[in-house]
Structure formats: C-alpha cells, structure tokens
Structure 1
Amino acid sequence: MVHPLDAWEKMYCHYEAPYEVIQRDKPYQMWVDLELPEPCGEEEMTLMMCAAGICGTDLRVYTGERPVPAGRIGHEAFAIIIDVGKKAKEKGYRRGMFVVVDCNHPDAQKRDLHLDGVLGRFYRVPADFVMCEPQRRIIPIDAYLSTQCIAPATAALVEPMTVALHALDYLRKGGPKPREFYDHYLTTADSMPDDEVNLLQGKNIVITGAGSIAVFAACMARINQAKSITLVNRDQIRLAHAVRVAKPDYYFPDDDDVSTKILQHFRTIGGVDYVLVASHGSAVKKAIEYLNPQGTILLVAGIGKEEVLQTDSDIVNLYSIRHDDLEKDIVVHGKPLKLMGVHGTTQPLFHQVLSYLVRGEFEKYGINPLDQITHVVSLNALPHVFALATKGNTIHHTHIGKILVDFRLLGKGIYTLDEYTSMFPQKSREFLTGKGMRAIAQYNSKSIHKKNTFASIRASMDTIVETLEGRYQTIKNKELCAKERKLLEKAFLVANNAYQGMQKERRFRPDGTRFIFHPLDMAEYAITHLSIVDPQVIAALLLHDVMEYTTLDAYYLQEQFGRTVASIAIDLAQDRTFETMPLAHVIDYLHGNAFVPFLRQIGYDEREQGRRNALINLAIKNEQYTRLISTPKHPLSPILKVLDNYTNYAWVSELPPSKIPQRSQEEIVMFKAYIAKCRCTYALPQVLQKDAYDVVALYENVRV
C-alpha cells in the first residue's frame, strides 16, 4: 500500500495542532497518541523530527526486558530546532539548527535514564539535557550538513555509529575512560585528533553479533587500521547482510565449533587480540577459548543482567562490567585476559563519526553505512513494526538490518528499502542524500504552517493529485489529461470553500483539524488502498458532504461536475429530515423499516433527551444503509460509504483505549451489519473490510 510523503517544509504544519507521538506502558503495549504543543521553558527547546532509528534497546524496552517508566520511546534522531527558550539560546542553540541526539543522561549516576521520546513528530527536550556542560547532549551538525555529505538517513545513524566508535576508542586507548576524560577534546574542533595513540592498529579483532552496533564497529575498525576483522553470528542470514555492509576479512557462523574454527584459522596470522561482544553472554565463554593470552574482551551489547563468568578466582557479573564501564584483569583456565565494558557515547566521538563521513573515510574501503538500512517506515506504523520486529528477524519477508522512520511518510507505511526508493524516487533521494535539507533550515517557529491553514490544505491536495497521477499511469498506462486535472482542482476549491461555510460546530473534526481533511483522507485512501483512479470519483469524494452540510445541492453538482459526481454525492448524503420529524414518527419508521432486527423493538423514554438524538441518528443511518444496499445511484457508492464511515472513525485508532470516545451500541451494530451486507452484495475490498472491522472493534470495547 502506498502512502504519500510530505514535503520537508510541510512537516511544520503538524505543529500547533495535536500531533502524533509513540507511547508505551506495559510490555508489548504501544500506541500512537496525540500531544498538544506547549511553549518551551527558558531552559528547554522543541525539536521537529526528520529521521529516527529503532535500535535493540528500543525493542527491549518494548518487550519489558529493559524496565523503564511508561511514556514516550526512542533516542536515535536527526531533528531541527523549531523553538528555543531564552537561556537555551545563551548556550548557542537557535531556531532552524539541525541536531543529533546524545541520549545519555548528563548525570553519570543516572545512566539508565536516557533521553527517550524522539519517536514523535515533535519533542520538547528537558532542561537537564539542554543546559548540561561542558559536553552537549543536543549536538548541532549544521557545519556538516552544509557540505551536503550528511543526509537525514545518515544523520539518524550517527548515534549507533558513535556507540560503536566509543567501544573501539577504549581499545585504541587501552582501557575505559570516564566521560570527563573526553572534555579536553572539546577544544580541538570538537573532534578526536587522528594522531592519538591507536593500540587497535595492526591487531586482529573478532566482533560477535550482526546488529547495527556490530556492523558499525567492524566499519570503524577498518578505518582505524585493524589488521583483520572477523564477524561471528548465529543467524546466517543476518551474518550475510552484515558481511555485505561491513566487508570484514573473515566471518564464521556462531555454532558449537566456532572456537575451534577461529583458533585454526588464526594460528598462522598471529591469533586474536580483541573480541568485541555485541551479541550474547555465551559469546564471552567461546571468546576465552580462541583469544590470545593477555587479549581483551570488550562487552558492548546483548549482556543480560544475570550474565556471569566463572573465573579461576571468582564469579564476575558481566552486566556490571559493561554497564559501569569497568575494567578487570581475569584468569580463566590459566589464561590471563582483560575484561572491559563500554556504555554510552561522548560528544567528541559524535564529531569524529561526522568527520569520517564528511572526509569520505568509509568510501575509501568501499563501505556505505546506508547499506545497513533495510526498512523505512512511517511514524504511525511503529506499533505494528515493533510487534513484527519482536516476533522474528524479518518484515515483509526481508531480514531486519536497520529500521528508519521517515517522518514525512504518512499513513501506516512499512517499506523495504527497495520498495521505498522505487515508490518515492525523488523524495527517497532527499532522505538518503540530503537534497533540499538546507532550505528547510531557513524556516523558524514563527513561520510554521498550521495544519488548518489553506497552505497546508493545498499541500495535502497536491500530494493526493501527485499520488493519483502515479497510480493512474500504472493502471491505465497514460497520464491525466488537462480536463481531468481541471475537474479535480475545481472540486477541491469548491469543496474547501463550501466546508469553510459550514456551521461552526461542524467545521472541525474531533482531532482538531478542519473538516476538509475528512474528504481528503477518503480520496487518499481510495487511491492508495483501493486503486480507484477515476478522477470523477475522486472529485465526488471531495464534494460528497456538501449537499448534507452546505447550501450546494444536486442540481449544482450535476451542472458543474457531471452525473457521476452528483450521483455519488446524492448516495452519500444523509437524509436530515428526520431531525425535524416528531419522535413518534421516527420510531414508527424504525419499527417498519428496520435495517437490523433489533430496531423493531427499540423504545424511548421522553425523559432521555440524549437518547432522542441517538434515535434520530439511527433513523438517518437506517435510511441511508437501506437505500445504498437496495438502490444506489452509482455502483461504487455502497463501498464508498464504508470508506466514509471508516475515515470518520479511524482517527481513534491512534489513541490509547482509555481515550476512545463512546458511540451507541446500536450504531456500531448497524455499521457492522452494513459492512457484512456490502461485502456480500458489492464485493467490498478485503483491505477496507479489515480496516473497518478493526476500527469498529475499538469502539465496541468502550460502547455505551
């Protein structure tokens, strides 16, 4: 299913209206919530996300393996500052500045309390992360972007690449270093000088694991002149992908004989000097077997809290070694070794990674970090993505390397990288190369487009037309003609003007957006999910509510737009005459023309004014459902009515269950009955049927 992509500039329109964020609480419980924007405090800033990555830590938070307080999630991000508090400005931050995020808490004693929350359209950064010094946690990268060597996708990978480099830096320097050790590098162009002591140079290193940290560690080891690099992993499919990206010298499946195989292989080339563990605790015991005496085991990732190692003298908790950046000399089976752990990142290493990218260090060895990306998804798809990623190692039959979020991507799009680049050739190039990013930096929070402005509405319509053109070309093997384009433009302008003239209480949808977004959502769904590419039908969807809520009538629509548009609009218009009928007549109508049997026994208490409105609503829906099933004026109208209801209801799918508004039991039952009859009579598309039933199920859990 194809979901349109916003332009970079249009992303601002989501601000100053309820915007989407990812929330989680219990294990495996995640949903898309809505947050209202709030002004920054003096020591705060607001970020607009451009790209973000999902890492193993996020997945462990989702499954409950890493207990953290309920709330937002995510920490690998590339963003733009759109609002800055007064004191934050004094730290050098400004609107329009591009940044990446160092998620580590400024207080070393709170290293488990990461900055989690970047998986949302906007994020107000807490003061302790904004005001910390001397090392920043929100790191400006404008200087690197200006070279056009850093793209949004690349910038989103900088944080995990820095974690990998931090591990190798301990090997370069011969042991763990406190964060304060790196402070003096802040005066040397914020980067680590290349002429530092490098103990990794000329040494053989084995890296266990095939996730992003392991892959990037192999890439960094190559740049830092390791003699040989070897990858080891259990999953051979993931190992094959890691080998393609990192281009190690050797690789081995992590089976029962891996220690013997590595020993035999390295016997003639000097043995293994370092083992970087980014997989699981059992890899440590295997590493001991093939590591040279006086060799080093560096724990980076995949170590559980209960993982221990029995040495010749005591029992060592491996998690504590990794978590607390400790170093310990050990002896196992008479072999003296060094055990080290690494946790987090530092600002100078962020700049060293960025410097590598700008200088083309990876390209020298034929390495492209973007090759680690296997999937690009939308923000709204993340609950489903997390569920899939924790069930196995594939999504859409493609193994998982790195999953990135393109925040321009609308709907619930989940794409492999190949699908993403083929469906969105121009905009995927922007994401992967950085084209057009400097233009967006010229905006500031005072020029943010509100979603309800005409500019934003216009942009949504342009996206729909762009999508229609692509699907029309694919299905009909020809382009839209000038007459069809003019029809769509006219329908949009008439609809937008008409809906703006509606009664004030109807001008906005429950999520705060203007009513016009309802027909726009219908048009987008019809094109992308149902492959409806008839411009007259799309025009009819834009205009389908004007007869019901505005002064425009069927004669006007037929005269201005033709019979197809008028027929669909008549079919989808509800009969509001029930609102002026005596209630007794309404009940008589329901008893005599029941679309579902329970309406024949329905009663009414004169004291329940709210119930009176509900009965009138049932009569309106009863009349329309009956008419559409028996005598529609256009054959697509019954299906489009399901789409109409679905898009009216679907906004609640992004809310937690406790926030879903109530609807009457009768209304839900009637809609389910209509879906069933429409499926049998008019071949309701399966995708719409499933989506409609899914949103009905949400209401059933909270119905009155």
Structure 2
Amino acid sequence: METMKAGLYISEKNVKVDTLEKPTLKHGEALIKVSSAGICGTDMMIYFGKHPRAKAPLAMGHEFSGIIEEVNGESAFHPGDRVVIEPTMSCGKCDACLSGNTHVCNTLGLIGIDSHGGFAEYVAVPLHRLHKIPDTLSDAHAALAEPVAVGIHTVRRSNVKVGDTVAVLGAGPIGLLIALTAKLAGADKILISDISPYRLSKAEELGFIALDGRKVNVVEEVRAATNGMGADVVFEVAGSNITADQMIHVCRTQGQIVVVSVYKQPPTIDLAAMHFRELSLTTTRCYSHSDFATAVSMMANGQIDVTPFISHHLSLDEIEKGFQLMTNPEESLKILIQPNA
C-alpha cells in the first residue's frame, strides 16, 4: 500500500500531520497533486467539532488547486495540466439536479467535507469537477476560485444595479469578495462592517467604507451615508444575531436583503419591520458550475485580484499553526497550505 502525507482533523481543535493511503483512481477520476489549499470558515467549523457531516479522521480542504498526475478514462484533461477543483458533489437524480441546479442538490456534498480533500499530497477528483487554470493565473491564486465563485453567485442572486448603494455585514474573505463583485456589477457606494480592525483595514485598502461595529452604530452610519434611506441591497455575511437584526434596519424601503451566512442557531428577526417596508429576502448557497467557470476567467483576466486576501503561505507540516492563526481574525485572512512544497 502506497501512502502519502496529509493534515488530518482528528477531534475538536485537534489537527495533525499523519499518513493516508494514496488514492487509487476509479474510472472517470484524475489524481491531483495538490499545489495550494485554503483554510476557510467551513474548515474552522469542522475544526471546532461543529460540522454535522464531517467525520474524523478527515483531510479537510475544499478550496484547492493542483497538477494532474494521472487520468483514468477518456478526457480532455491530461497529466501535467494545472487545474482547480470545483468541490461540490451532487446526486444527479433529485429535482434540483434534473432542473440544472446541482448546487442545491438534496444531498449536496463537498470534497474536503464528505471525502478527503486538499490538505493532503494527493486527491482523487471526478474529471467533471476540474477546471483548467489559464496561464495568467497562479496555482496559489487559483485555489481561491471557490470563494470567488461564492461571491459571484451571491451577487448574481441579488438585484444590484449600476449606481446602487450596498451594505455588507461581515468583512471576512467572503464578505470582501462579495463587495468586490458588487462593485464590478455597478454598485456605486459600498459600506462594509465588522468588529476586526485587521479585516476592516483590508476593506479600506480595497476602497470600501469600513464601519467598526464596536465603535459606531452600524444602522445609523449606513442611514447617514444614504440620506436616511438605507442601502439598496444588504448582504448578511457574519452569521450573528446582531447582524441578523441590523440587516433589516440598514435596508431601504422595498430594498433587498441577501442572507449568505449559514446560521448555527436560528436567529430572531423582526418580520413585522420587513413587512411594513416591503423588504425582499433572498438566500444563497454555494455556486453553479457557470459561476465557478466565471470565477476562474475573471481571476485570470485580472478583474478580480485575490492577492490582498492571502495572509499566509504554509507548508503541510505547519497546518496546526494555520488553524491556530485562523482562530484570531486579527492575524489572518486567507491561509494557504502547500502540501507538496
């Protein structure tokens, strides 16, 4: 049995480097030698023992790029191709899948959550989940195609129009990427709130109006910036009861709220306040295949630059350090693990 090195989730707040059996390919799969893999919020949920599906021992990591080492089956992909992985796994049989909406499959799974992912030297990936990386895009940047696709899908689900004012509640990587994408979609003024000075400084660097929720009243600040009306579109990306309440009151009459967060506990929201001002509520999940392809294309042509998002490049041996850094939003934004560095 051939083995490989992997960073494994063992138990709550416990990740360590160990060995796994190197994947053996099934028909229709490619063996990927992982170049870069990002730690994201879902990985942190697993790390804290809060994810309902992830089972230890698990090589997490669903944001990753790599190089094809082997292909089993007829394909346009070949050994040596640089690829980024679209990690969603759908059944292909439910109503959502049959209508072309595989990203809301009744039994949707993800590589790195429901099977071993990118925090390992090698991963077996279905051929139809691969996207070639254009020459103008680095492996490290390509690893962020997944969160970029989330931003694109979210803004596509919204009503953002040229000249709109947008409020983003939460300045983590997804919130910042949504703000960037909203700007590309035509938003004129973008306000983004958080309680992390480090992440708010990133928002300012990207040209957004940063609101520190510890120091100012976010609702009052958004209303003051919009002549008392509120934002045309509000994106809730923090997943807290505080922002669940704020999203209603920072939104203008007949405006739109887009909930991006996955709430661990149901929040309390004022439906009457929404009712009286005819607010629209939209939810969003993951991304479509088209969104993912668009993410790769927009990153490759320079429309979306993820350089400001990458705070650390670490080796696989440093994966425990990476998760410790991610517990402090003042030290990290996007950490990339390089299993074969």
Assess same fold via TM > 0.5: yes
The code of the aligned residue for 2:66 comes to A
SS at match of 1:31: strand
Residue 218 of structure 1 and its aligned partner are, at CA, apart by 1.3
The code of the aligned residue for 2:62 comes to H
117, 126, 138: which one pairs with 2:130?
A: 138
42, 47, 54: which one pairs with 1:57?
A: 42
CA-to-aligned-CA distance 1:174-217 (integer Å, 9 cap, x gap): 4xxxxxxxxxxxxxxxxxxxxxxxx4322111111111111111
315, 338, 341: which one pairs with 2:283?
A: 341
More helix by share: 1
Q: Which residue of 2 aligns with 1:22?
A: 7
CA RMSD of aligned residues (A): 2.1
Partner Cα distance (1:140, 1:305) in 2: 38
How many residue pairs get aligned? The number is: 320
Pick closer, same or farther for the CA change 1:389–1:355 going to 2, 3 Å: closer
Q: Which residue of 2 aligns with 1:97?
A: 81
Task: Verify: 1:298 aligned to 2:258, yes or no.
Answer: yes
Partner Cα distance (1:227, 1:39) in 2: 51
CA-to-aligned-CA distance 1:283-321 (integer Å, 9 cap, x gap): 121121121111111111253243242413xxxxxxxxx
The more displaced of 20-29 and 371-380 is: 20-29
Q: Which residue of 1 aligns with 2:219?
A: 259
Residue 387 of structure 1 and its aligned partner are, at CA, apart by 3.1
Q: Which residue of 2 aligns with 1:167?
A: 154
Task: Verify: 1:31 aligned to 2:23, yes or no.
Answer: no
On the 8 A contact 1:28/1:63 being kept in 2, the answer is yes
Q: Which residue of 1 aligns with 2:339?
A: 407
- Spell out the pairing of 1:452-601 with structure 2 (5 A cutoff): none
Task: Verify: 1:69 aligned to 2:62, yes or no.
Answer: no
Length-normalised TM-score, structure 2: 0.87
Pick closer, same or farther for the CA change 1:211–1:102 going to 2, 3 Å: same
CA-to-aligned-CA distance 1:421-459 (integer Å, 9 cap, x gap): xxxxxxxxxxxxxxxxxxxxxxxxxxxxxxxxxxxxxxx
Q: Which residue of 2 aligns with 1:272?
A: 231
Residue 17 of structure 1 and its aligned partner are, at CA, apart by 5.1
Moved over 6 A (4+): none
Residue 274 of structure 1 and its aligned partner are, at CA, apart by 0.5
SS at match of 1:288: helix
The code of the aligned residue for 1:160 comes to P
- Spell out the pairing of 1:684-699 with structure 2 (5 A cutoff): none
Task: Verify: 1:393 aligned to 2:329, yes or no.
Answer: yes
SS at match of 2:163: coil
CA-to-aligned-CA distance 1:633-653 (integer Å, 9 cap, x gap): xxxxxxxxxxxxxxxxxxxxx
**Whose relative contact order is higher, 1 or 2, with alpha carbons under 8 Å and at least 6 apart?**
2
CA-to-aligned-CA distance 1:663-687 (integer Å, 9 cap, x gap): xxxxxxxxxxxxxxxxxxxxxxxxx
On the 8 A contact 1:47/1:122 being kept in 2, the answer is yes
Partner Cα distance (2:69, 2:203) in 1: 37
SS at match of 1:309: coil
Identity between Structure 1 and Structure 2 (%) = 22
On the 8 A contact 2:6/2:19 being kept in 1, the answer is yes
- Spell out the pairing of 1:105-124 with structure 2 (5 A cutoff): 105-107=89-91, 108-111=105-108, 113-116=109-112, 117-124=117-124
Q: Which residue of 1 aligns with 2:193?
A: 232
Residue 408 of structure 1 and its aligned partner are, at CA, apart by 4.3
Partner Cα distance (1:263, 1:224) in 2: 22
On the 8 A contact 1:21/1:72 being kept in 2, the answer is yes
Partner Cα distance (1:361, 1:346) in 2: 19
143, 148, 163: which one pairs with 1:156?
A: 143
The code of the aligned residue for 1:403 comes to I
Partner Cα distance (2:281, 2:39) in 1: 29
On the 8 A contact 2:234/2:250 being kept in 1, the answer is no
SS at match of 2:11: coil
More strand by share: 2
On the 8 A contact 1:47/1:83 being kept in 2, the answer is yes
240, 246, 252: which one pairs with 1:286?
A: 246
SS at match of 1:404: strand
Task: Verify: 1:214 aligned to 2:175, yes or no.
Answer: yes
374, 380, 386: which one pairs with 2:317?
A: 380
Residue 357 of structure 1 and its aligned partner are, at CA, apart by 2.6
CA-to-aligned-CA distance 1:10-33 (integer Å, 9 cap, x gap): xxxxxx953211222421122212
Partner Cα distance (2:32, 2:250) in 1: 47
Length-normalised TM-score, structure 1: 0.43
CA-to-aligned-CA distance 1:44-73 (integer Å, 9 cap, x gap): 221100111111111111101223222221
Partner Cα distance (1:387, 1:232) in 2: 24
SS at match of 1:243: helix
Partner Cα distance (1:309, 1:271) in 2: 18
Partner Cα distance (1:304, 1:39) in 2: 36
The code of the aligned residue for 2:47 comes to Y
Pick closer, same or farther for the CA change 1:229–1:38 going to 2, 3 Å: closer
User: Which structure would you say has the larger Rg?
Assistant: 1
Q: Which residue of 2 aligns with 1:204?
A: 165
